[in-house]
Chains A and B, each alone.
Chain A
Amino acid sequence: MKLYPRQRHRVLQVITKLIIPFVMLFALYVQFHGDFGPGGGFQAGVIFASAFILHGLIFGLQHTRSVLTPTMLRVSMAVGVLLYLLTGVVSMLRGAEFLNYDVLLHDPIHGQHLGIFAVELGVGITVYAVIVSLFYGFASKR
């Protein structure tokens, strides 16, 4: 029986398709649980990126690129940093220091939660975009 290149890794491809949603879900869990327990943007970003890297390894870079274009990565890289900075600026506009989360909401504790949430989200977005674009950058060379 002759196998075409696309069929050669059928098992891997099917398993990967099954795993990727769970990897992403786990990334989101690590992301949003970060302000209560261990976790946070760095780890979540890397886990989220690993889903795309796995996709790229199994299905080929071309397919991953058509799902997640380099332009999208560039935009999300910038948006993550901007989200981080804007959180700080909002707290400055409310009369406190840069990144002082206490003033974000009426209640300091809720404010801290919201602030860490937003900042970690920014970190997560940037980290995932950077890791995936590193992968694109190196994988597309020869």
Chain B
Amino acid sequence: MIATQLPALQIIIPLFAAPIIVLVRRSELAWIIAVVANLMCVLVAWKLLGLVNEQGIIRYSLGGWAAPTGIEYYVDSVNAPLLLLVAAISAIVLLYAYHSVKKSVDSNKHYLFYAAWMLCLSGLLGMLITGDAFNVFVFLEISSLSTYMLIAFGSDRRALTASFRYLVLGSIGASFILIGIGFLYAATGSLNMLDLAQRIPDASSERAILVAFSFISIGLMIKSAIFPLHAWLANAYHHAPITVTAFLAGTATKVSLYVFLRFLFSVFGTQYNFEYLLFNVILLPAAVLGFLIMSVVAVFQTDLRRMLAYSSVAQIGYIVAGISLATQAGLTAGYVHIINHAMIKTALFMSVGCIIYRLGHAHRPSLDNLIQTMPLTCAAFIISGLSLIGVPLTVGFVSKFTLIGAAMEKGWWMMAALVLVSSVLAIIYIGRVADVMLFRKQRLPNPIPQGRNEAPLSMLVPMYGLIFMSLYLGVYGSKTLAVASEAATQLLGGFR
């Protein structure tokens, strides 16, 4: 009986946890409830992935109202792996969060922090799982509103302005999506994604579809921080509590990218000529300029969080580059990088979190010889950094290799070359940090106390768990590639 209820449970469990946390209010208990709920989510996502592999697409009509009328949850090989990814990353960061949150957030607000986290998680999972266009908007707003709140928990007062700017941009993005969905509904009379996919080709007005498509694309591009529309991301990632940054870097933009993929390929299908316009004239330059310019910008940042934030925009550029190829190989590359980048970036931000926990800052020039005092954290940063660069045997290599392969397959040699250029830039910005950490002699006056001063074990263990997971998936890259190519087939094939 449980098996048939899994899609609903995926959303309900974190949604249940949030009010219970508000009722309980004690911060330790709140954390425990959040962790338990999150682990249950991971379990459900794991089961769902197994079920999808076993029996194909799972559909679940909410409230017993059948598909075109009611809201439907739709799980297939595209979103099932991402459900597991988001739930797992959230669980890992939440396990890691306890000490970091205790230090950076007021103790009488802990319960609100964890409740917002749970709401954000359920919003993100909801965006992934739902098969209803309007429901996407609702879950998007649930996750966004709780994200604004989570960012505002940052200890610096600039967190407030960062959160406000994100709120304004995020609301515009969400409103654009809402307008787009409205036009879709006007043109087709349906909100169910499957139904939309069938009705769009017969819609009487292609112009309305075009308008809907443009609004939804722009809205989702804002939410997923694709290059020219990434203005909110750097400040938000910089000033949010570091655990929130780690969580968001791995999940929020990725989920928006998934919705983008879903609308682009499954709902609108690839039969429209304006799609090719979008791919070649808008997405491709945005992607290429994104990963080049943002990598250059990242080189010149002195704060690790800011550097990684710009690097995130660059990495999203790789994903979009894969998407803009619009081929099986390209989509596979994009999809696999969604998974891989989520793991890498979360691990990187977690290691920066450890540094901040001990030193109170993440200012690159004052991290002299950090390897002496925090060897494990530095090792974690450098391993994940190598992965970000794309050194063989890491997940970064898997995704870059596939991306370059896909670009060459389509004959876009230039793009393949530029990906390599951008990787060199990644070597520079990760290398500068590694250089300071490993080799720089300590200057006077000595900013770092002598002796071992490692982050607590409760932070190191989840971080290393994630790193080992990503190393495993880097060595056995074919596993994620198989999942990704399955997803790409599903996306290109439309709804079946």
Contact = CB atoms under 8 A, between A and B. Distances in A.
A–B in direct contact per CB < 8 Å = yes
A140 to B, nearest CB: 16
B360 interface: no
Contacts of A89: 12
Interface string A39-67: 00000000000000000000000000000
B22 A98 contact: no
A109 B62 CA distance: 18
B1 interface: yes
B405 interface: no
Contacts of A88: 8, 12
Interface in B41-98: 60-64
A90 B181 CA distance: 32
B18 A81 contact: yes
A79 B22 CA distance: 10
Interface in A69-89: 74-75, 77-79, 81-82, 85, 88-89
A117 interface: no
A75 B64 contact: no
A120 interface: no
A78 B1 contact: no
Contact of A97 (B18, B19, B61): B61
B5 A85 contact: no
B64 A102 contact: yes
B40 interface: no
B64 A96 contact: yes
Interface residues of A, number: 19
Interface string B200-239: 0000000000000000000000000000000000000000
A100 B63 contact: yes
Contacts of A100: 63-64
A74 B329 CA distance: 51
B5 A82 contact: no
B138 interface: no
Contacts of B25: 74
B12 A78 contact: no
A5 interface: no
- Which of A85, A98, A101 has the most CB atoms of chain B within a 10 A radius of its CB? A98
A78 B23 contact: yes
Interface string B1-44: 10001001000100110111011010000000000000000000
A97 B12 contact: no
Contacts of B1: 95
Main secondary structure of the interface of B (DSSP, over half): helix
Nearest to A103: B64
- Which of B23, B61, B64 has the most CB atoms of chain A within a 10 A radius of its CB? B64
Contacts of B63: 97-101
Contact of A77 (B5, B19, B61, B62): B19
A30 B62 CA distance: 26
Contacts, number: 47
A34 B15 CA distance: 25
A105 interface: no
Main secondary structure of the interface of A (DSSP, over half): helix
Nearest to A74: B22
A97 B64 contact: yes
A92 interface: yes
Given A89-B12, A92-B5, A95-B1, A82 B64 contact: no
A102 B64 CA distance: 8
Contacts of B61: 97
A97 B22 contact: no
A81 B64 contact: no
Interface in B270-292: none
A79 B20 CA distance: 9
Contacts of B8: 88, 92, 97-98
Interface in B431-466: none
A99 B20 CA distance: 20
A98 B19 contact: no
A82 B62 contact: no
A85 B12 CA distance: 8
Nearest to B22: A78
A69 to B, nearest CB: 14
Contacts of A81: 15, 18-19
Nearest to B1: A95
Interface of B: 1, 5, 8, 12, 15-16, 18-20, 22-23, 25, 60-64
Interface of A: 74-75, 77-79, 81-82, 85, 88-89, 92, 95-102
Closest 3 CB pairs of A and B: A100-B64, A78-B19, A98-B8
16 contacts: A75-B23, A78-B19, A78-B20, A78-B23, A79-B19, A85-B12, A85-B16, A85-B19, A88-B12, A96-B64, A97-B8, A97-B61, A97-B62, A98-B12, A100-B64, A101-B63
Given A82-B19, A85-B16, A97-B63, 7 more contacts: A77-B19, A89-B12, A97-B61, A98-B12, A98-B63, A99-B63, A102-B64
